[in-house]
Amino acid sequence: HYPLIPRSLFGKYPKLVRTMYMDYVKDDEQGAARSRIRFLYRPVEGIAEHSYGLNVAELAGIQPEILVQAEQEARTLQERVETLHGRLPAIL
């Protein structure tokens, strides 16, 4: 769901829109529900491969049960997007 917004804006207004995200490193742990993200506090040109809002919420101390529910909702939304738009191509 998240990557559609910058892709759409960049596609419509390539001379007016500049896409950037906060650089990060993924620390994938086997069996973990979600990848651990370490933000590097360095802006990078392009579009992040995923929305990392749940990782930010976890860093902010949001309760685990709320994160689980939000993750389920995000998965449902992602499935809907893929049904309507197909799987998104590689990052620009």
C-alpha 81/C-alpha 45 separation (Å) is 24
Predicted local distance difference test score (pLDDT) of residue 44:
93
Exposure letters 34-63 (e unless 16+ CB within 10 A, then b) = eeebeeeeeeeeebbebebebbeebeeeee
Mean pLDDT, contiguous 10-residue spans, the chain (92 residues): 74 86 83 77 88 89 95 87 68 40
Predicted local distance difference test score (pLDDT) of residue 34:
67
DSSP assignment of 8-65 = HHHHH-TTT---EEEEEEEE--TT-SS-EEEEEEEEEES--SS--HHHHHHHTT--HH
Question: pTM for the whole thing?
Answer: 0.66
Predicted local distance difference test score (pLDDT) of residue 64:
94
